[in-house]
C-alpha cells in the first residue's frame, strides 16, 4: 500500500485546481477578451489581489489558490494576446512551460553535475545544437545562464581573461579598454562597470546614421587606442541592436578584430535565432568568426525567461574566465561522471534551463522554431509597409528583424512628447502594448512583433487607433489650450 503524500508534496490537487485557470487564461488571450496590459497603481494591484492577507497566510488550499490565480492572471501583461507588441520577451509555446514546472518541482540546482545529471545532459545537448549553427561544435563550447545580461558579463569576463589573465589575481590592468557602439545593450556598459573598467574605458565606436558601427570607424579607433598605449580587451557588435533591431557589419568587424588580435564579441541575444533559418541567416554573416556570442532563447525560441547561452569559439576560453575553486562543491579528486558547469558560469546554483529549449525542439523541431522566426520577421515587414502607406506616420528604416520603429507625425506640436502620450494612452486603454525608443535624437513608438498570431488586421487596428488618439489629443489641445 503506497503511503499517502503529505498535502504540500502532492501536486495533484494543486494542478487540478490550477490547470483550468491557466487554460482559461490562454483562451482569453487568444480571444483578446481582456486588456493586453493593465496598468493600475501598485498599491491598487496589491489591494485587489489581497496581498496583505496572503502574507498573514495559512488559509490557502487548492480552491483558494485557483481563485487567487484567476485574479493574478486577470492583471498580468498578456503576451499571448496578438495585440502584444511590447518587449523582446518570448510568447512561450508548449511544451516549454512544462520545463519550468518540472524544475520547480525537482529543484535540481544543476551547476554541479550531481545536483542534476539530466539537466546537465540537456544543457550540453542544447549547447551542441546551438554551436552547430556556427560550425563551432568541435572546438567550441558554452554555458546557459539566467539571462542575456549575465551572458554578456560572462563573455566579457572570458575576453578579459584572454587579454589579461593576471587580472583575476592582480586586478584590472590600467591599459585595458572595451570598444562598443552606443547602440549596444546597457548590460554591456554594466559589465564594463562590474569588470572594473569604468565607463571611461568603455569607448563608444563611431556609427552610421542608423546607429550601426562602421568598419572605418572601428579601424580608426583600434589604431588610436594603440597609439594611446591602450589595449582593447574586446570589440562588441550588435546582432541585432535592442532599440532598432538593426545588425552591425559582423564580417568586416571580425576581420578587423582578427587583424588587430582583439577579442570579438557579438551580442546576438535577440538576433541569433535567425541562424536557424536558411533564408534569414545571411543577416548574421560573419558571426562564426567571433570569439564569443550571446543567444537568448527566451527572446525568439518560445521559452520563458530566463534562458540565455554564452557560446565561445574555443571551449577552453570559458573556464578561464573563472579561475576559482569551491572545494565544498567540487573537489578535483572527487570528480563525477559528468561536468560541473559551475566552472563556467557566474551562478552557483542554476535552473535546468536546457530542458525548456529541448522540449520545444522535441515538439517543433529546428524547422518549426525557424518558421516562427521567419513569420515574426515577415510580420514586421508587413507592419512597416502599412505604416509607409499612411501619410500621418514616419518610419526611419526597413526592419531587419521583428522590431519596427515609427512615429505619428500628422500634426503640430512637440512630436517627441506626442509619441510618449500616445504610447501611454494605448496602454491605459489596454488595447495595444507598444514599447518606445529614442533614435536619432527623437522619440519613436517601437513595435516588437513577438506573437505569430498577430496579423495585418491587428496592425491596421493599431494604426487606426493611434491616429484616432492623436486626433482626440489635438482636439483637446485646441479646446483647452493645454497639450
Ligand X SMILES: Cc1ncc(COP(=O)(O)O)c(C=O)c1O
With binding defined as CB under 6 A, does residue 291 bind ligand X?
no
List the interface residues with ligand X, window 353-392 (CB under 6 A): none
List the interface residues with ligand X, window 94-153 (CB under 6 A): 147-149, 152
Near ligand X by CB under 6 A: residue from 306, 309, 353, 373: 306
Quick one: 1 exposed, middle or buried, by C-beta within 10 A (0-12, 13-18, 19+)?
exposed
Candidate segments 26-34, 110-118, 264-272, 333-341, binder of ligand X by CB under 6 A: 264-272
List the interface residues with ligand X, window 54-93 (CB under 6 A): 88
Q: Nearer Cβ to ligand X, position 288 or 296?
A: 296
With binding defined as CB under 6 A, does residue 242 bind ligand X?
yes
Candidate segments 76-84, 197-205, 262-270, 437-445, binder of ligand X by CB under 6 A: 262-270
What's the closest the beta carbon of residue 238 comes to ligand X, in angstroms? 6
Do 433 and 423 meet the contact criterion of CB atoms below 8 Å apart? Answer: no
Q: Nearer Cβ to ligand X, position 36 or 450?
A: 450
What's the closest the beta carbon of residue 44 comes to ligand X, in angstroms? 27
- Counting residues that bind ligand X (by CB under 6 A) gives 14
Measured in whole angstroms, the distance separating CA 442 from the mean position of its chain's CA atoms is: 24
Among residues 281, 282, 276, the alpha carbon closest in space to that of 360 is found at 276
Whether omega for the bond prior to residue 165 falls within 30 degrees of 0, making it cis, is no
What's the closest the beta carbon of residue 370 comes to ligand X, in angstroms? 20
What's the closest the beta carbon of residue 347 comes to ligand X, in angstroms? 13
Near ligand X by CB under 6 A: residue from 81, 296, 340, 400: 296
Near ligand X by CB under 6 A: residue from 212, 270, 384, 446: 270
**What is the per-residue binding string for ligand X in 181-200, x denoting contact by CB under 6 A?**
----x-x-------------
What's the closest the beta carbon of residue 447 comes to ligand X, in angstroms? 15
Give how far Cα 38 sits from Cα of 118, 186, 428, Å: 39, 27, 7
Q: Nearer Cβ to ligand X, position 185 or 443?
A: 185
Sequence-ordered list of residues with C-beta below 8 angstroms from that of 289, at least 6 positions apart, any chain: 250, 251, 254, 255, 258, 264
List the interface residues with ligand X, window 392-451 (CB under 6 A): none
What's the closest the beta carbon of residue 300 comes to ligand X, in angstroms? 11
Q: What does the alpha-carbon distance between residue 1 and residue 266 come to, in Å, rounded to a whole number? A: 58
Q: Nearer Cβ to ligand X, position 67 or 305?
A: 305
Q: Nearer Cβ to ligand X, position 108 or 149?
A: 149
C-alpha cell at 432: 495595444
Q: Nearer Cβ to ligand X, position 187 or 395?
A: 187
Measured in whole angstroms, the distance separating CA 133 from the mean position of its chain's CA atoms is: 19
What's the closest the beta carbon of residue 476 comes to ligand X, in angstroms? 35
Q: Which residue has the CB atom at the shortest distance from ligand X?
A: 148
Q: Nearer Cβ to ligand X, position 357 or 473?
A: 357
Near ligand X by CB under 6 A: residue from 308, 357, 359, 426: 308
What's the closest the beta carbon of residue 242 comes to ligand X, in angstroms? 4
Near ligand X by CB under 6 A: residue from 37, 153, 191, 269: 269
Q: Using alpha carbons only, how large is the chain's radius of gyration in Å?
A: 24
C-alpha cell at 69: 490565480
Write out the residues near ligand X by the rule CB under 6 A: 88, 147-149, 152, 185, 187, 242, 267, 269-270, 296, 306, 308
Amino acid at each position: 500500500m503506497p503511503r499517502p503524500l503529505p498535502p504540500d508534496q502532492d501536486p495533484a490537487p494543486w494542478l487540478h485546481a490550477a490547470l483550468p485557470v491557466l487554460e482559461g487564461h490562454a483562451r482569453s488571450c487568444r480571444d483578446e477578451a481582456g486588456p493586453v496590459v493593465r496598468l493600475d497603481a501598485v498599491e491598487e494591484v496589491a489591494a485587489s489581489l489581497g496581498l496583505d492577507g496572503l502574507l498573514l497566510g495559512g488559509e490557502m488550499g487548492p480552491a483558494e489558490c485557483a481563485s487567487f490565480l484567476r485574479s493574478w492572471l486577470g492583471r498580468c501583461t498578456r503576451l499571448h494576446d496578438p495585440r502584444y507588441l511590447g518587449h523582446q520577451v518570448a510568447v512561450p509555446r508548449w511544451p516549454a512551460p512544462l520545463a519550468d514546472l518540472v524544475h520547480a518541482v525537482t529543484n535540481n540546482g544543476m551547476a554541479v553535475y550531481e545536483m542534476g545529471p539530466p539537466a546537465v545532459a540537456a544543457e550540453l545537448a542544447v549547447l551542441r545544437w546551438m554551436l552547430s549553427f556556427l560550425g563551432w561544435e568541435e572546438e567550441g563550447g558554452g554555458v546557459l545562464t539566467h539571462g542575456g545580461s549575465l551572458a554578456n558579463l560572462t563573455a566579457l569576463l572570458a575576453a578579459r581573461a584572454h587579454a589579461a589573465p593576471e587580472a583575476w589575481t592582480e586586478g584590472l590592468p590600467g591599459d585595458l579598454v572595451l570598444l562598443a557602439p552606443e547602440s549596444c545593450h546597457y548590460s554591456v556598459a554594466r559589465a564594463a562597470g562590474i569588470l572594473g573598467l569604468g565607463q571611461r574605458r568603455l569607448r563608444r565606436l563611431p556609427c552610421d546614421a542608423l546607429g550601426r558601427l562602421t568598419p572605418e570607424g572601428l579601424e580608426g579607433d583600434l589604431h588610436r587606442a594603440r597609439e594611446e598605449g591602450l589595449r582593447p580587451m574586446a570589440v562588441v557588435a550588435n546582432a541585432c541592436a535592442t532599440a532598432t533591431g538593426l545588425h552591425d557589419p559582423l564580417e568586416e568587424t571580425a576581420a578587423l578584430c582578427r587583424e588587430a588580435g582583439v577579442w570579438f564579441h557579438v551580442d546576438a541575444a535577440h538576433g541569433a535565432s535567425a541562424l536557424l533559418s536558411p533564408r534569414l541567416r545571411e543577416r548574421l554573416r560573419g558571426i562564426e568568426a567571433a570569439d564569443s556570442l550571446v543567444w537568448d532563447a527566451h527572446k525568439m525560441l518560445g521559452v520563458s525567461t530566463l534562458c540565455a547561452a554564452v557560446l565561445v569559439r574555443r571551449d577552453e576560453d570559458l573556464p578561464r574566465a573563472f579561475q576559482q575553486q569551491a572545494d565544498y562543491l567540487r573537489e578535483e579528486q572527487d570528480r563525477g561522471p559528468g561536468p560541473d558547469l559551475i566552472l563556467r558560469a557566474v551562478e552557483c546554483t542554476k535552473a535546468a534551463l536546457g530542458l525548456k529549449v529541448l522540449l520545444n525542439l522535441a515538439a517543433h523541431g529546428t524547422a518549426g522554431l525557424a518558421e516562427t522566426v521567419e513569420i515574426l520577421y515577415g510580420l514586421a515587414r508587413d507592419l512597416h509597409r502599412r505604416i509607409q502607406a499612411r501619410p500621418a506616420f514616419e518610419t526611419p528604416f526597413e526592419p531587419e528583424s521583428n522590431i519596427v520603429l515609427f512615429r505619428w507625425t500628422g500634426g503640430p506640436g512637440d512630436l517627441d512628447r506626442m509619441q510618449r502620450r500616445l504610447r501611454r494612452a494605448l496602454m491605459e486603454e489596454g488595447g495595444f502594448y507598444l514599447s518606445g525608443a529614442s533614435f536619432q535624437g527623437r522619440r519613436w513608438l517601437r513595435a516588437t512583433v513577438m506573437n505569430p498570431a498577430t496579423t495585418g488586421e491587428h496592425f491596421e487596428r493599431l494604426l487606426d487607433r493611434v491616429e484616432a488618439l492623436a486626433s482626440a489629443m489635438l482636439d483637446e489641445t485646441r479646446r483647452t489650450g493645454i497639450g
